[in-house]
Amino acid sequence: MAATIENIASALAKGQTTSQKLVEECLAAIKNPAGEGSRTFLNVAGEKALACAQAMDVLRKNGQAPSPYAGIPVSIKDLFDLEGEITRSGSTVLANAKPAVADATAIARWKAAGLIVIGRTNMTEFAFSGVGINPHYGTPKSAFDRETGRVPGGSSSGAAIALTDGMSHGSLGTDTGGSCRIPAVFNWLVGYKPTARRIPSTGAFPLSTTLDSIGPLGRSVACCAILDSILAGEAPNSPPVREVAGLRIAIPKSYVLNDMEPLVARAFENALARLSKAGALVREIQFPEIDEIPSINAKGGFSAPESLATHRDLIAAHRALYDGRVLSRIERGHEQSASDYVDLMRHRARIIAAFNGRMQDYDLLACPTVPIIPPAIADFEKDADFARLNLLILRNPSVINMLDGCSISVPMTHAPEPPAGLMLSAPTGRDKALLIAAAAIEKVLA
């Protein structure tokens, strides 16, 4: 049986396992010298996690567990504040920063539900790429083809590998242009990007204050739905059951269908065929607002100027400590004037309105999450190759951040086949409906 959040909660309720045992198993996986733990975690809670687990077991035994999911170990991306710890954001630049005085809101909500933080996971420095490479702390390898050594996807790289290797049972990431969905697709997982305003960003080191979204990675759509509901301050629930029949799915006739590797193209075609056979109404339609996005973002979009505003003083003091590939992307913010930024906001508002109107007749937008399978880490040794592949990996997921939508990646293939994901998206605020539909689609594609 898959180690989903629901299954683990059931085992805890029935006394078939304990929180202490779950934490001990995760810690053993992290410490496994043959595993990816040293590259996946930048800090491990260890004794603190075990003490929390023991406390949750006592509470459950006495009927006082704060939620059905209390005692389940989870990981958090290194850019979230934990009281008393330095938030490094995958960088050495902040190594001497002051420790956080409080938990990030997202962390506080998970803790209030009884989830146990097992440690902080590795990430792209300051979350600024979709590849997952980190020159400071090492790069955890994708669960696919470990012998070759393939990129895990970013920026929430460690969040994915913690799940695939049994080092946690839920992971917290952020998604500014795909950073939950990309590592999910590259590791046969599910990654969710909620409507940005759904989860407070307090205590999360920003990349783009306009585009940043806080979301979970899990082993199923239900895992992500449960973790997301806690993050949103709602009662935790898995999605209600519905059938795929009758779902109206729009396929965008745009660049998001270009440059697909053959395996991804076959998986996408097969997924659409299976959904149609199950009764979904699949239609190809034009989305001119999507085709406008590259030209609108030609000067670096929101991430460049907004990250430059955050990093300007840090760069002046610590330029040599930055990953050069991250630094160059931040400094693209110099290319925009104040009027350029105002134009960018105006164009975004216009295409969001157009997209939302076009989607009134559809439940979902569907396309491949990423058009390629995870490239080898060695493919990124040249800066030119890094830039090209990074843009290709980010291309499809970043569309939905720009359109202020919600989006989830579910697997189209399963191990040992190379990973490929189906990205399902909806307009802003339709999170609940999207998760219900995604759970139904996941069942068809399983």
**Token digits of residue 238:** 């898995």
Helix then strand count (H, E) for the chain reads: 15, 11
**Is 129 within 8 Å of 153 (Cβ atoms)?**
no
State residue 311 phi and psi, 5-degree precision: -100, -5
Of the residues 19, 75, 77, 89, only one is catalytic, namely 77
Alpha-helix runs per DSSP H in 319-405: 324-330, 338-358, 383-402
Active site residue 339: no
- In order of 95, 403, 439, the CA distances from 88 in angstroms are 6, 29, 35
Residue ranges of E strands in 194-290? 213-218, 248-253, 281-286
CA 166 to CA 30: how far, in whole Å? 8
**Is 172 within 8 Å of 113 (Cβ atoms)?**
no
Of the residues 89, 129, 155, 229, only one is catalytic, namely 155
Of the residues 156, 171, 179, 307, only one is catalytic, namely 179
- The DSSP letter of residue 140 is P
Strand partners, 43: 120
Active site residue 295: no
Active site residue 179: yes
Evaluated on CA atoms 434, 123, 143, 44, the torsion sign reads negative
**CA 121, 122, 127 angle in degrees (round to 5)?**
115
CA 431 to CA 428: how far, in whole Å? 8
* Rounded-to-5 percentages of helix, strand, coil across the chain: 45, 15, 40
State the amino acid at position 164 in one-letter form. T
**Token digits of residue 220:** 């199923």
C-alpha 338, offset from chain centre: 31
- In order of 189, 204, 386, the CA distances from 171 in angstroms are 11, 15, 26
Strand partners, 281: 248
State the amino acid at position 120 in one-letter form. R
Catalytic residues: 77, 155, 179
